[in-house]
A and B are shown apart, each in its own frame.
Chain A
Amino acid sequence: MNLTREQISDRLAEVGYVADRDLATALWLMAFLKRPLLLEGEAGVGKTEVAKALAAVHKAELIRLQCYEGLDQNAALYEWNYQRQLLAIKAREGTGENADAIEEHIFSERYLLERPLLAAIRRPTPPVLLVDEVDRADEEFEAFLLELLSDFQVSIPELGTINAISIPRVVLTSNGTRELSDALRRRCLYHYIDFPDVDREARIILARLPDIDTTLALQVARLVAAIRKEDLQKVPGVAETLDWAATLAGMDIHELGGEPERVHETLICVLKTHEDRARLTREVTDRLLGRVA
């Protein structure tokens, strides 16, 4: 059963993810065409959160595969349980079974360890599979992933072909450290996530920190938007905004206007390099603060 776009929007809001309309459309389309969704955007705009929210919307399990340089099939697909295999071989040593029979036994399902990709296609109900930062994995892995995403079956030499029990909803994220192949891009639907606008960021703060003052949430969102326009090395993401809002709320501040000192002190929540910290001097902070509060 497919949800309509409105239902997806509503449920995203219920689980605390403030989505724009286009994202809801992309998520609907994902289910309609049964295609994976490729999310791109700057670090910290909430790409991974989308997958978590999607899992919550469909009340499905979230299976996450974090990609890294050198990720191989052993870590992504399956592995044999070597300790148990060794024990099994030892246990059968005395029984006089021949090597072929032992081999057949120890390379059976019982000794197979599922890794994320295999787990994702062997669940009775379709889970959400998050392939995080796929651009960090090597090209070889990308090609392998492409094969899995088109056929949803894997072959394990010792066992044979394993077909998908259910087709997972696949979300891929990329930070653009490497150009992804055309083939993978074409396989996927595409959505570019930008930093949220002030209004949406304020709503995100309110959704995540329900106890916070509405004024404070709006001011923090405006100030972060202004900070993002400064020439920074690392632009603060939504997570940083949330940290900062929580910090300010925790210091019992209800209105930024009267607290330039504490605003400047707590900037460490959003500025994560020495150079950025040095760039946003007290004068700059005061100027930005003057504009938003």
Chain B
Amino acid sequence: MTKAAPSEPHEGVGVAALRRLAGFSRTLRDNGFRVGLAETRDALSILASPAAARPSALRPTLRALFCATRSDWERFDEIFDAYWQGRGMRRVRALSGTPTESRTSLRRLAEAGEQLQPRGLPDHAEHRSGSVADHSAAKHDRRQGASRAESLEATDLRHIVDPADIARVHALAARLARAMRARLVRREQVRRRGRRIDLRRTIHRNISHGGTPVDLAWRRRKIKPLRLVVLLDASGSMSLYTAFFVRFLHGVVDAFREAETFVFHTRLAHVSASLRDRDVARAVDRLSLMAQGIGGGTRIGESLATFNRWHARRTVNSRTAIMIISDGYDTGEPIQLAAEMRRLRRRCRRIIWLNPLIGWRDYSPQARGMQAALPYIDLFAPAHNLESLGALEPYLARI
């Protein structure tokens, strides 16, 4: 298809323009756009075409070409203006985290974390209720400031658990995932017995019988793997466990083909994308930075409401298990939590609530939030150490 583009795309395009375009591709790549050689080449052929005669047409053209997701789509204009019109160049440099700048790597990660915040649905939510937008923008800034300051002085979360434990958590998450998949993934196969006759194969097999279907081939429906959605409470009261569970989340995203992960405290953040980073340490760092520094209360009900409203339609279906990892200390209204739990329960297959406090001696779920949520939970289990997580394996395999 790019074959069809003119063979000498940069004919008639000046060297300066070429260089500017290459720079633009690089800027986009630095900002997380998936821009490859093919896109740059296509952009060149656009520059050489009559469309480039009118600069006003260039922006929508390049946007359609370079964007691949909605978040790209929403950020494109800003980056385009900054690059081609020189406005806000500093902003773009800051976003891209140019390595020549004398910053500590942690600080850059903190910013990368900010940048990787989900841009899609939650933003949308804010647009809808105009008054909330300003408020949340202010909050956003405040948090950016906070995480910067803290990332410089806070201890590295990687060292809270020692390396051997890290390896064990990963192995465990992978094992849990495998246990579920081994039971649930079965490709559709031609079988001796099944629900439907596979006509294509039956005919093939029976040509030698003169077309009389002596030897039947059957098909069986493919059983799709379970989808897992994990909601991790990263509030102050959970801080001892956050590092541990962030690792666990990474293992889950790694091992499951269909897994989505969210972190919540006073609001909900979709973190699957940040966790898909191949560099484990970087992904965990980034997420830990996003998750920490929230000493405030937890609004489980509100976070679940955000989830139900903006993410559930996309991530939850009838073969989804939802895993909530939280101590159940909710500063919001228990009534709202109960209502959102009920709504969630209707949509998914199972709700598993892992509560690190269960491991404590003499614990009983007294917190009002926990009380409100209990009726909708299929499995209420401890999760304070590796053994307790390991004990989940047989249950997960049965779902």
Interface residues, chain A, with chain B CB atoms under 8 Å away:
4-5, 21-22, 25-26, 28-29, 32-35, 37, 40, 69-70, 72, 74, 79-80, 82, 85-86, 89-90, 93, 99, 102-103, 106, 138-139, 149-150, 167, 176-178, 182, 185-186, 188-192, 229, 231
> Do residues A5 and B57 form an inter-chain contact, with CB atoms below 8 A?
yes
Contacts of B203 in A (CB 8 A): 80, 82, 85-86, 106
In the complex where A70-B221, A86-B203 touch, is A190 in contact with B211 (Cβ < 8 A)? no
User: In the complex the two chains form, what is the Cα distance from A80 to B60 in whole Å?
Assistant: 44
Query: How far in angstroms is the closest Cβ of chain A from B336?
Result: 14
Query: How far in angstroms is the closest Cβ of chain A from B326?
Result: 25
From B61, B129, B200, B314, give the contact of A80 (CB < 8 A). Answer: B200
Task: Beyond the given A33-B1, A93-B210, please list 15 additional residue pairs across the A-B interface where CB-CB is below 8 A.
Answer: A25-B61, A29-B61, A32-B5, A34-B1, A37-B64, A70-B222, A82-B203, A86-B203, A89-B211, A102-B207, A103-B207, A189-B64, A190-B64, A190-B73, A192-B70
User: In the complex the two chains form, what is the Cα distance from A37 to B64 in whole Å?
Assistant: 9
Tell whether B102 is near chain A: CB-to-CB under 8 Å.
no
Tell whether B298 is near chain A: CB-to-CB under 8 Å.
no
> Do residues A33 and B42 form an inter-chain contact, with CB atoms below 8 A?
yes
Interface mask (B54-97 → A, CB under 8 Å = 1, otherwise 0)? 00010011011101111011100000000000000000000000
In the complex where A80-B203, A99-B207, A229-B128 touch, is A185 in contact with B68 (Cβ < 8 A)? yes
Contacts of A25 in B (CB 8 A): 57, 60-61, 64
Contacts of B160 in A (CB 8 A): none
Residues of chain B at interface, number, CB under 8 A: 45
Query: Which 4 A-B residue pairings sit nearest by Cβ, starting from the closest?
Result: A89-B211, A185-B68, A25-B60, A26-B64
Tell whether B139 is near chain A: CB-to-CB under 8 Å.
no
Interface residues, chain B, with chain A CB atoms under 8 Å away:
1-2, 4-5, 34, 36, 38-39, 42, 45-46, 49-51, 57, 60-61, 63-65, 67-70, 72-74, 128-129, 188, 199-200, 203, 207-208, 210-211, 221-222, 224, 257-258, 313-314, 317
Query: How far in angstroms is the closest Cβ of chain A from B11?
Result: 16
User: In the complex the two chains form, what is the Cα distance from A185 to B314 in whole Å?
Assistant: 18
Contacts of B39 in A (CB 8 A): 186
Contacts of B63 in A (CB 8 A): 22
User: In the complex the two chains form, what is the Cα distance from A150 to B49 in whole Å?
Assistant: 23
User: In the complex the two chains form, what is the Cα distance from A99 to B210 in whole Å?
Assistant: 8
User: In the complex the two chains form, what is the Cα distance from A139 to B188 in whole Å?
Assistant: 14
User: In the complex the two chains form, what is the Cα distance from A186 to B68 in whole Å?
Assistant: 6
Question: Which residue on B lies nearest to A32, using beta carbons?
Answer: B49
User: In the complex the two chains form, what is the Cα distance from A177 to B313 in whole Å?
Assistant: 7
> Do residues A29 and B207 form an inter-chain contact, with CB atoms below 8 A?
no
Identify which of A22, A93, A190 gathers the most chain B CB atoms within 10 Å of its CB.
A190
> Do residues B57 and A150 form an inter-chain contact, with CB atoms below 8 A?
no
User: In the complex the two chains form, what is the Cα distance from A26 to B73 in whole Å?
Assistant: 13
User: In the complex the two chains form, what is the Cα distance from A168 to B39 in whole Å?
Assistant: 21
> Do residues B68 and A192 form an inter-chain contact, with CB atoms below 8 A?
no
Identify which of A40, A138, A139 gathers the most chain B CB atoms within 10 Å of its CB.
A40
> Do residues A33 and B65 form an inter-chain contact, with CB atoms below 8 A?
yes
> Do residues A21 and B1 form an inter-chain contact, with CB atoms below 8 A?
no
Contacts of B4 in A (CB 8 A): 33-34, 167
Query: How far in angstroms is the closest Cβ of chain B from A115?
Result: 13
From B1, B73, B129, B313, give the contact of A192 (CB < 8 A). Answer: B73
> Do residues A99 and B67 form an inter-chain contact, with CB atoms below 8 A?
no
> Do residues B49 and A40 form an inter-chain contact, with CB atoms below 8 A?
no
Contacts of B207 in A (CB 8 A): 89, 99, 102-103, 106
> Do residues B257 and A182 form an inter-chain contact, with CB atoms below 8 A?
no
> Do residues A26 and B60 form an inter-chain contact, with CB atoms below 8 A?
yes
Between-chain CB contacts (< 8 Å), 14 pairs: A4-B50, A22-B60, A28-B61, A29-B64, A33-B46, A74-B200, A80-B199, A89-B207, A93-B211, A150-B1, A185-B34, A186-B36, A231-B128, A231-B129
User: In the complex the two chains form, what is the Cα distance from A186 to B37 in whole Å?
Assistant: 11
Contacts of B2 in A (CB 8 A): 33, 35
> Do residues B65 and A189 form an inter-chain contact, with CB atoms below 8 A?
yes
In the complex where A29-B46, A32-B49, A89-B211 touch, is A40 in contact with B199 (Cβ < 8 A)? no
Query: How far in angstroms is the closest Cβ of chain B from A146?
Result: 12
User: In the complex the two chains form, what is the Cα distance from A33 to B45 in whole Å?
Assistant: 9
User: In the complex the two chains form, what is the Cα distance from A226 to B45 in whole Å?
Assistant: 43
User: In the complex the two chains form, what is the Cα distance from A229 to B45 in whole Å?
Assistant: 41
> Do residues A86 and B34 form an inter-chain contact, with CB atoms below 8 A?
no
Question: Which residue on B lies nearest to A2, using beta carbons?
Answer: B49
User: In the complex the two chains form, what is the Cα distance from A97 to B244 in whole Å?
Assistant: 71
Contacts of B36 in A (CB 8 A): 186
Contacts of A80 in B (CB 8 A): 199-200, 203
User: In the complex the two chains form, what is the Cα distance from A182 to B64 in whole Å?
Assistant: 15
